[in-house]
Structure 1
Amino acid sequence: MKDKLFAVIDVETTGGGINGNRLTEVCIVLLKGGEIQDKYTTLINPEKHIPAQITALTGIDNELVENAPKFDEVAKEIEEFMRDAIFVAHNVNFDYNVLRNEFKQLGFDFNRKKLCTVRLSRKLIPGLLSYSLGRLCDSINIPLTNRHRAEGDTDATVILFQRLLSLDTDGQIFNSFLHAHSKQATLPPHLSAEEIHELPEEPGIYLFKDKQHKVIYAGKAINIKKRVLSHFYDKMSKEYLLGQETYYVDHESTGNELIALLLEAEYIRKHYPKFNSAQKRPGITYQIISYINQRGIIQLGIGKTKRIQDSVGTFYNRSLATEKLELICENFKLCPRYCTLQSSMEKCSHYKLKNCEGVCDDSESVSDYNLKVTEAINSLGEEKPTYVIREKGRHFEEEAFILVKEGRYKGYGYLDSEVQIESIEDYEPFLNLQESTFHTHKVLNSYLRKHGEKNVFYFDQLEYA
C-alpha cells in the first residue's frame, strides 16, 4: 500500500435521493504511504434550494453557499487534484455516486477504484455494535469535531483510514477489496461477503431486510446468489438506496421457478415491501355475475373487482370476459339484452348475436329462459378444473406440486419421489396453504400458456365431491 495514492473524501449535499442530490460542500485529503500529502476543501453552490432539515443537520444554508463556486467552476481542479488516486470514503458508494453524477451532468465520465472504510472496518475491527462514523470514532477513540461538515468528517475518516492501513500489515485485505472482480467493492456496507457467499445458486425467493428485520424487498430468482448480487452491481438510484437500507438477506429454495413466482406474490402481499413496486396494488379482475332482475329473469353481466371471488367466471381483462359472455349467449340461445351485451331496453338487436328465442318480447317464457341461463352457468362451473402441476423439487429425490382446486390456487408442497398418489386427498398432508389472488392466478395462467399441460394432472370433480 506504500506506493498507492488515496483520496479520502466526504461530501455534503442538498438531500433528495441520489439523482436529486446536489453538492453543497466537498473535502478531499490525499494520502500516500499513510502520510497526508495535501488537502482540498470548498463549499459548492448547488443551484437549488437547501431544505431546512438539511440545514439543521449540517449548518449549511442557502445564504452560506450563495457566493460559493458552482460545481462546473471547480470540477476541473477537483478532478486534477484527485487524479490517479483511489477513492476512499465512509460508506463510499454514497459519496462516489454523488460526485460521479455531478461530473456526469457536465458530460464527463468519472471512474475511480474505490475503498469503503465501513466495510474495511467490519473486516479489520470486527465485533463493534455500530460502524457509523460517529459511533465508530467513539469506540476506537478517534477525535471527531465539526460533525456533518465535509472537512470535519474527512479529517476523522483520514485517521480511521490510517489506523486500518496499520492493521493490514501485509496489505492482503486492502488488495482483496481493490481487486477488479472483488464482490467486496460492490456490496452494501451492512452486508458481509460471507453472508452473500453462502447463498445458494438455485431457484427460490430472497428477502432484503432492514435493521429492524422488516422486509423491504421480496424477489424471485432462478439463481438466488446471482440475482441478489445483481442488485448491488446496478447503479440505479433505487437499487443503491435498497442496498443502503439492507442489513440482512434471507432466502428460501424452491427447486423451481413456478413456486418461486407464487411465493414472491405471497410475500409482497403479506409484507408490502417498501422497494417493491410491481404486485403491490391488487389487480383488477372482471367477473361474469348473475342476478335476478325485476322481471324475475336471471340476468348475466360483467362486474369489475379487485378481489378474486366465487362467481360465474373470472377473467383478467374486460375483452376476455365479454368474449366469453358472447360465446355462452350464442351457445345457449340467450338474449343479448339480458346478458348486458346491449344497452337498449327494447327488443334485442345485437350486431352478432341473432339467435335469441324471444324472452325480450315475451315470445319465450321467463321460466324456460331461466332454465337455459342455469344450464349456461353450470357449463361455466364445469370449466373450473381441479388439477396439480408437478415440478422439480429441491433435490433429486423430491417432487414439488402446486394444487388448484375448482379453478382456485390452494397452495404448494413437496413430496418424496416414492410417495404414491392416488387421489387429490393424498396431497393435502403435504400442502402449504396459500392465498389465491389476482397475481397468483396470473402466474399460473402464464405458466400454462408457456409450458402447456405436460406437467398438469387433472382430477375428475366426482372424485373429490
Structure 2
Amino acid sequence: MYTIIDIETTGNGIKGNKITEISIFKFNGQEVVEEYTSLVNPECDIPYFITGLTGIDNAMVRDAPTIKEIAPKILEITKDTIFVAHSVGFDYNVIKNEFENLGISYSRKKLCTVRLSRKLIPGLQSYSLGKLCSALKIPLSDRHRARGDAHATLILFEKLLKTEGSSTVFSSFLNAKSQENTLPPSLPKEEFNKLPNTPGVYYFKDAKNKSIYIGKAINIKKRVLSHFYNKSNKEVEMCANTAHLDFENSGNELVALLMESAAIKKEMPLYNKAQKKTTIQYGIFCYEDRNGVMHIAYNKIKLAPNSVQQFFNITDCRFALEKICEEFELCPKYCHLQENIGQCSHYKIKKCNGICQQKESVEIYNKRVKQALKSLQNSQETYLIKEKGRVSNEIAIVLVEQGEYQGYAFISKDEQVNNLEDLQVHIIPQKHNLDTLRIISNYVQKKPKNVISSLTSY
C-alpha cells in the first residue's frame, strides 16, 4: 500500500518549515482507496513570496486545523504504507519534523518519484514535476497546491509502476541497504558510487557542472554521504541543487586542506562561506625618516611595502616587535609601539639607549635595527613537510621557502631528488596567503616530526 503525498509550506527549509496544506492519496497499486486534503494553520505568518507561489495566505489558514489537530489522521492514513512523494526527502522530513515538535515519532519507508523516474525513464532534460508531466502528457492543474501536485504525482507513480523493469527497481529502492532515497533527487547513484574512501577534496556541482560546494575529507565517500543525512536548511538546499559529484585524491589531510583552500578561492562556490576571502594580513616593514632614523613598523599587508614578516593579526605583530625591540635594545617609539610621544616610556621595555632623546647616534642605532631585521628575515625558514602519497609507492611533499608556501608535489619513492632544484620540477605551484599559512602552521605544531629542514634527511 502506498500514500502519495504533497505538502505546501511556509518555505523555511526543513527545521523551521511549517505545513500550510497537505494532500494524501492512499493507493493500493490499482486504485485510490482513500483521499485526505486539508489546509493547515501553521501558527505563524506566511511569507509574501510563498503566497505569490501557492496562493495560500494568512486569511485562508486562519480557521484551518493545526498540525496537532490533524496529526492523528495523518498517522492513521499513512500507517503501514510506503510514503511516496516527488523529491521525497523534503516532504517526508518536514512532516517528520512537525511530528517531532509534537513529541511523536514518525517513520515510514519512502520512495522518490524523481529518482524512480530517472531510473525508469532515463534521458529527459529535467525531472521536475512540471517538466515530467509535460513530457509524459500528465494533466497538472492547481500547480503548487497540495492536491494538484499530489494528484499529478499519483498519475506519474501509476505510470512508473507499469513501466518495464519497475518491479526490480522498486525492490532495489525499498531495500533497507539501498541509498537511493538518501541521495539528492537530481544526483544519479553512479555519481556517488564513483567516490573513493580516501583522503582528498570533493566537489558538489549543479546541473551546469558548476561547483556549488567544495570540501575536504579523510574519507571522501563517507563525508559526502554525511551531507545527505544532514537536515539543516543549508545542507538540504545544497543537496537539492546537486546533480554531479567530483573529487581529487590527496593522499593525506594536509594536502587535502591546501587543495580545498585553493579550489574555494578559485571557484567561489555558492555554499562555501569560509576561505573565499583572504582575511586581512599584517606585516612588519622598515622605513627611514627625514632624520635618517630607521623605523620598524607594522600595517595591513597592502600598506606594508616589502614586509619582512607577515602575521595573522595585530597582536602577533606587536608581540614580535616587542621581542626584537627588547632583544636589540631598540626604541619603542621608533618601533611604533608608542605613538605621538616625544620620548619613549614603554611599560615593558626599558632598554632604549636614548635615540629618541638624541643621546645615541643615528648610525649606531640603525646598525642594531639592521641586525633586528636580519633576525626577522632569518626566522623565515625553508623546510619541507613529508606526508603520505596517493598510492603506496608515492610520498607527498609540501614546500615552504623563506616562510612562504610554494606548493605541493607527489613524488615516486624511486625518484632521486637531491636538491631544491630537483624538487621544484615536481612542485605544483600554489599561492601563499593567510589561510595556507594558518593550515601549515597548525600542522607544524601538531606534527613537528614530519617537518624536514633539508633535502638530505628527506
Relative to the length of structure 2, the TM-score reads: 0.93
CA distance in 2, matches of 1:308, 1:9: 62
Residue 195 of structure 2 aligns with an amino acid whose one-letter code is L
Shift of 1:380: 0.8
SS in 2 for 1:353: coil
SS in 2 for 1:314: strand
Pick the aligned partner of 2:347 from 331, 341, 351: 351
**CA offsets per residue over residues 139-192 of structure 1, 9 Å max, x none?**
223222222111111111112112222336673322322223321120001112
Residue 282 of structure 2 aligns with an amino acid whose one-letter code is Y
Pick the aligned partner of 1:224 from 207, 210, 220: 220
SS in 2 for 1:136: helix
Residue 293 of structure 2 aligns with an amino acid whose one-letter code is I
Relative to the length of structure 1, the TM-score reads: 0.92
CA distance in 1, matches of 2:347, 2:293: 23
Q: How does 1:271-282 map to 2 (within 5 A)?
A: 271-282=267-278
CA contact (8 A) 1:308 1:437 kept: no
CA distance in 1, matches of 2:143, 2:435: 48
Shift of 1:56: 2.9
Pick the aligned partner of 2:395 from 399, 414, 417: 399
Unaligned runs of at least 5 residues, structure 1:
461-465
CA contact (8 A) 1:387 1:404 kept: yes
Pick the aligned partner of 2:317 from 321, 340, 358: 321
CA distance in 1, matches of 2:320, 2:304: 18
1:191 is the counterpart of 2:187: yes
1:380 is the counterpart of 2:351: no
**CA offsets per residue over residues 202-224 of structure 1, 9 Å max, x none?**
11101111122221110011111
CA distance in 1, matches of 2:126, 2:341: 73
CA contact (8 A) 1:332 1:376 kept: yes
CA distance in 2, matches of 1:365, 1:31: 97
Identity of aligned residues (%): 48
CA distance in 2, matches of 1:80, 1:355: 84
CA distance in 2, matches of 1:34, 1:336: 88
Q: Evaluate the alpha carbon distance shift between residue 307 and residue 41 of structure 1 in structure 2; reply closer, same or farther with a 3 A threshold.
A: farther
CA contact (8 A) 1:282 1:306 kept: no
CA distance in 1, matches of 2:72, 2:300: 60
CA contact (8 A) 1:100 1:111 kept: yes
More displaced stretch, 172-181 vs 253-262: 172-181
CA contact (8 A) 1:12 1:23 kept: yes
Unaligned runs of at least 5 residues, structure 2:
none
CA contact (8 A) 1:403 1:412 kept: yes
SS in 1 for 2:450: coil
User: CA-atom RMSD, angstroms?
Assistant: 2.2
Which position in structure 2 is the counterpart of 1:438? 434
Pick the aligned partner of 1:10 from 6, 15, 32: 6
Q: How does 1:277-356 map to 2 (within 5 A)?
A: 277-305=273-301, 310-343=306-339, 345-356=341-352
SS in 1 for 2:79: coil
Shift of 1:305: 4.5
Residue 80 of structure 2 aligns with an amino acid whose one-letter code is D
1:123 is the counterpart of 2:104: no
Shift of 1:360: 1.4
CA contact (8 A) 1:34 1:165 kept: no
CA contact (8 A) 2:407 2:430 kept: yes
Q: Give the count of matched residue pairs.
A: 456
CA contact (8 A) 1:11 1:26 kept: yes
More displaced stretch, 337-346 vs 155-164: 337-346
CA distance in 1, matches of 2:97, 2:368: 68
Shift of 1:436: 1.0
Shift of 1:428: 2.2
**CA offsets per residue over residues 98-145 of structure 1, 9 Å max, x none?**
222222332323222211111111112222221111111222232222
Shift of 1:311: 1.2
CA distance in 1, matches of 2:337, 2:135: 74
CA distance in 2, matches of 1:201, 1:77: 44
CA distance in 2, matches of 1:34, 1:6: 11
Q: Evaluate the alpha carbon distance shift between residue 312 and residue 299 of structure 1 in structure 2; reply closer, same or farther with a 3 A threshold.
A: same
Q: Post-superposition, which runs of at least 4 consecutive aligned residues in structure 1 deviate over 6 A?
A: 306-309
CA distance in 2, matches of 1:266, 1:388: 19
CA contact (8 A) 2:206 2:241 kept: yes
CA distance in 2, matches of 1:14, 1:341: 56
CA contact (8 A) 1:268 1:279 kept: yes
CA contact (8 A) 1:289 1:312 kept: yes
